């Protein structure tokens, strides 16, 4: 009964959340594995853009991204051994501005298809829906992420191609967009995992592509008590990218 009640509460929460939003940047390479059944993970994400030549729209004003702080609270719940649902609350604080709540995002499904024993690649997929506030983004959108993972010796390779589509508003006539996340990790230590990650955005596939690309050296650390910490320093590789970003993700997991 307790397990059924906790599942109902989490599902209700995830249905309520996707009502407002603005697309914040997500510097995360997802693993193929999903949360165990009944496990709730609570995470705090932080991105700090130290230096950027780019500007963006915030409350109707064009401001520089340098000094931008992005905060996200994530909930992830394991419905089964292969299926999880997730939701994100996003906040932004440009330099000189007050902290504002800007977005909720819902992952409608993250499903683990194959384990490495069954196929050459450990494989999952992930479907996310965004309903933004009009003053930030007039178009709702859906993201489809394919998650591929392969381990060999002491290394783990992860590939996350992402396809995006505006589903309403002024951008609905646009075609599929493409983004990517990828990482390679050295699993030579028990709790500490250094790695090198790559992120990018090419924009609409059929149009002239944008060239936003980053490289993130970083690490993951498992404290062994339900707590995990992931951190990295990102360097923009093109003129359209921000110059330097610091990311941190702190997570805590518990069984309900």
The tens digit of pLDDT for each residue in 201-243 reads: 988 877 777 789 999 999 999 998 999 999 999 999 999 999 9
pLDDT at 4: 53
E strand intervals along 79-140: 83-93, 100-114, 122-130
Whichever domain contains 37, its CATH number is 2.40.160.40
Residue range(s) defining the domain that contains residue 238: 2-24+32-255
Q: Which has the closest alpha carbon to 221: 187, 174, 177, 256?
A: 187
- Per-residue tokens: 118: 């069954």
Q: In the block, which residue shows the tokens 């309520």? A: 16
Q: Are 92 and 113 in contact (CB under 8 A)?
A: no
pLDDT at 26: 86
Q: What is the CA radius of gyration of the chain?
A: 18
Burial 32-56 (b: 16+ CB within 10 A, else e): bebbebbbbbebebebebeebebee
pLDDT confidence tier of residue 167, bands split at 50, 70 and 90: confident
- Give the alpha-carbon dihedral of 38, 12, 101, 108, to 10 degrees: 70
- Per-residue tokens: 188: 């030579």
Q: Are 137 and 57 in contact (CB under 8 A)?
A: no
Who contacts 33 (Cβ-Cβ below 8 Å, separation ≥6)?
112, 122, 124, 149
Q: What DSSP state is assigned to residue 75?
A: E
Who contacts 5 (Cβ-Cβ below 8 Å, separation ≥6)?
none
Express as a percent the part of the chain with pLDDT over 90. 58
Report phi then psi at 7, rounded to 5. Answer: -65, -40
The tens digit of pLDDT for each residue in 92-115 reads: 999 988 888 877 788 888 999 977
Cβ-based neighbour number of residue 179 at 10 Å? 19
Express as a percent the part of the chain with pLDDT over 70. 85
Looking at the structure of the chain, the number of domains it has is: 1
Residues 58-68 have a mean pLDDT of: 85
pLDDT at 236: 96
Q: Which has the closest alpha carbon to 178: 136, 206, 214, 216?
A: 206
């Amino acid at each position: 009964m307790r397990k059924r009640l906790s599942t109902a509460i989490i599902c209700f929460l995830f249905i309520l959340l996707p009502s407002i939003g603005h697309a914040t940047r997500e510097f995360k390479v997802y693993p193929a594995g999903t949360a165990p059944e009944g496990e709730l993970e609570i995470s705090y994400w932080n991105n700090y853009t130290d230096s950027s030549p780019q500007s963006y729209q915030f409350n109707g004003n064009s401001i520089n991204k340098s000094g931008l702080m992005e905060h996200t609270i994530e909930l992830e719940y394991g419905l089964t051994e292969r299926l999880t649902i997730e939701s994100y609350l996003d906040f932004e604080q440009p330099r000189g501005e007050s902290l504002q709540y800007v977005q909720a995002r819902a992952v409608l499904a993250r499903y683990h298809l194959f384990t490495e024993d069954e196929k050459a690649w450990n494989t999952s997929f992930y479907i996310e829906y965004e309903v933004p506030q009009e003053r930030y983004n007039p178009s709702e959108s859906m993201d489809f992420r394919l998650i591929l993972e392969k381990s060999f010796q002491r290394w783990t390779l992860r590939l996350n191609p992402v396809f995006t589509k505006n589903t309403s508003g002024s951008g609905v006539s646009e075609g599929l967009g493409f983004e990517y996340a990828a990482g390679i990790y050295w699993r030579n230590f028990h709790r500490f995992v250094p790695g090198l990650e790559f992120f990018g955005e090419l924009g609409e596939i059929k149009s002239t592509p944008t060239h936003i690309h980053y490289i993130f050296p970083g690490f993951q650390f498992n404290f062994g008590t339900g707590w995990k910490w992931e951190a990295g320093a990102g360097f923009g590789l093109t003129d359209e990218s921000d110059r330097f970003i610091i990311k941190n993700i702190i997570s805590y997991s518990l069984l309900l």
